[in-house]
Amino acid sequence: MAVEKIIGEWKKNVFKPVYWLEGEEEYFIDKAINYAEHHILNESEASFNLSVFYGRDASWSDVVNACRRYPMFAERQVVLLKEAQQMRDVEKLEGYVENPLPSTIFVIAYKNKKVDGRTKFAKILKEKGVLISTKKMYDNQLPEWTQELVESKGLTISPKGLALLVDHIGNDLTRIENEIEKISVNLGKKKAITEEDIEEFVGVSKEFNVFELQAALAKKDLAKAIRIIQYFEANPKAAPIQLILPSLYGFFSKVFMVFGAHTTDEKGVAASIGVNPFFVKDYMQAAKMYDYAGVEKALLLLHNYNLKSIGINNVGAEDASLLKEMVIKMTA
């Protein structure tokens, strides 16, 4: 990730005069801004040489004036512009970016938007500074990213615990990090995170969750699937239908890929479809239980019930009723 590279350079006191951080993934933008605010300057330097602006409240001229000041009692100053997407006339920063002060580190957070790459402003940003465009992490990247985050804190996590955490939280990197931090604090001297820890400290039932629902469907265990859905019905925040359906669709999409793996070796299948070898048996079992046509039917049902969950061809059925109806048809 480019943001990690930037922070690595900052730790080595390697700086560019301007950093423009944009795009969909706020986690990485916030991480860079937080580091710039709290770690580039020491406490005594920051009292004179740190300026923080917010796009909604600041004018571009005030920001530029701050950037053009020289540092006091330090080699450099840091100017941060947070929420720059809310600033009027933000493109008027172009004049400063074209001729920045070498002793100023100017970091701009431009969230959920992108500067038009065809404009002169974008070209100047790339030429004179660093332009990083962040993207939302794909769901299939979350387990590996979360695993690396856990390991960076000197911890380990069981494969099932990892699946529980990622399936429950989804693509919210900030929350994933916060939950891991909370678990770490509560572990004490322990270094291994288990599914029991996820259940206790994150609030995910290890028996009634999306992961267990998918495992039940892989075996066509309708009774267990219905029990899990009834738990979701009684605990609506545990797994909303907007989380369940994409997770199941991802699962059956991987099952569909098993038929093209051209091998029955578990490690070979895991590598072919891109899943943790620990869980590959579930995918292979589902492929046998459903066969090719059955998996196609499951994927079509998931698509249709996703439409129903947002009100299309649905006369008012509750989410739990939709899920029960779907899994009955799926396992028939």
What CA–CA distance (Å, rounded) separates 205 from 150? 21
Residue type, 267: K
Print burial letters for 274-298: b (CB count within 10 Å at least 16), e (below 16): ebeeebbebbbbbbebbeeebbebb
CA dihedral (297, 302, 308, 309) in degrees, to 10, reads 160
pLDDT per residue as tens digits for the range 283-292:
999 999 999 9
Say whether pLDDT at 251 is over 60.
yes
pLDDT of residue 40: 97
What CA–CA distance (Å, rounded) separates 43 from 41? 7
Share of the chain above pLDDT 90, in %: 81
Q: Which residues pair with 82 in a beta bridge?
A: 54
Q: What is the mean pLDDT of residues 53-76?
A: 96
Q: What is the mean pLDDT of the chain?
A: 93
pLDDT of residue 313: 86
Say whether pLDDT at 262 is over 60.
yes
What CA–CA distance (Å, rounded) separates 4 from 265? 37
pLDDT per residue as tens digits for the range 157-191:
999 899 889 988 888 999 999 999 999 999 988 99
Tell me the backbone φ, ψ of residue 130, rounded to 5 degrees.
Answer: -125, 125
What residue ranges define each of the domains in the chain, with the CATH number in brackets? 2-134 (3.40.50.300), 139-202 (1.10.8.60), 210-331 (1.20.272.10)
pLDDT per residue as tens digits for the range 264-278:
899 999 999 988 888
Q: What is the mean pLDDT of residues 313-322?
A: 89
pLDDT of residue 1: 54
Say whether pLDDT at 196 is over 70.
yes
Q: What is the mean pLDDT of residues 108-116?
A: 93
Closest by CA to 265, choosing from 251, 277, 282, 255, is 277
Q: Which two tokens stand for residue 39?
A: 């770690």
- Residue 83: pLDDT band (50, 70, 90) is very high
Three-state SS for the chain is CHHHHHHHHHHCCCCCCEEEEEECCHHHHHHHHHHHHHCCCCHHHHHHHEEEEECCCCCHHHHHHHHCCCCCCCCCEEEEEECHHHCCCHHHHHHHHHCCCCCEEEEEEEECCCCCCCCHHHHHHHHHCEEEEECCCCHHHHHHHHHHHHHHCCCEECHHHHHHHHHHHCCCHHHHHHHHHHHHHHHCCCCEECHHHHHHHHCCCCCCCHHHHHHHHHCCCHHHHHHHHHHHHHCCCCCCHHHHHHHHHHHHHHHHHHCCCCCCCHHHHHHHHCCCHHHHHHHHHHHHHHHHHHHHHHHHHHHHHHHHHCCCCCCCCCHHHHHHHHHHHHHC
* In contact, 74 and 27? CB cutoff 8 Å: no
pLDDT of residue 84: 96
* In contact, 158 and 146? CB cutoff 8 Å: no
Q: Which two tokens stand for residue 139?
A: 């769901």
